[in-house]
Amino acid sequence: MSDLLTAGALLVTAAGVLSAVTAYAISRRISQALPVLLDFLIGAGLIRLAAEISWNSIMVAATVIAVRKIVAIGIAAAPRLQQP
């Protein structure tokens, strides 16, 4: 079961990279593509956490979620900072 979950996490990561590249190619805005990538990475991290429950896996998942939150706040604040 662990090998299956690890393969699933890898598949979700690859789908996230492909989706983020596609989102960037369509919108030409990193602010549109980066949240897509980070959402998929959160999903992959949670799948890995289900495969191997350890403090290292928990820290990786928590770090990706924290980065996602910080990026979301930064993206939301950027348009307000650029306005005169």
Question: In angstroms, rounded to a whole number, what is the distance separating the alpha carbons of residues 67 and 5?
Answer: 23
Q: Which residue has the higher pLDDT, 78 or 32?
A: 32
Section 41-50 average pLDDT? 87
Percent of the chain with pLDDT over 70: 92
CB 51 within 8 A of CB 9: yes
CB 16 within 8 A of CB 40: yes
Q: Which residue has the higher pLDDT, 83 or 14?
A: 14
Q: How does pLDDT run across 13-44, given as a tens digit for each residue?
A: 999 999 999 999 999 988 888 889 988 988 98
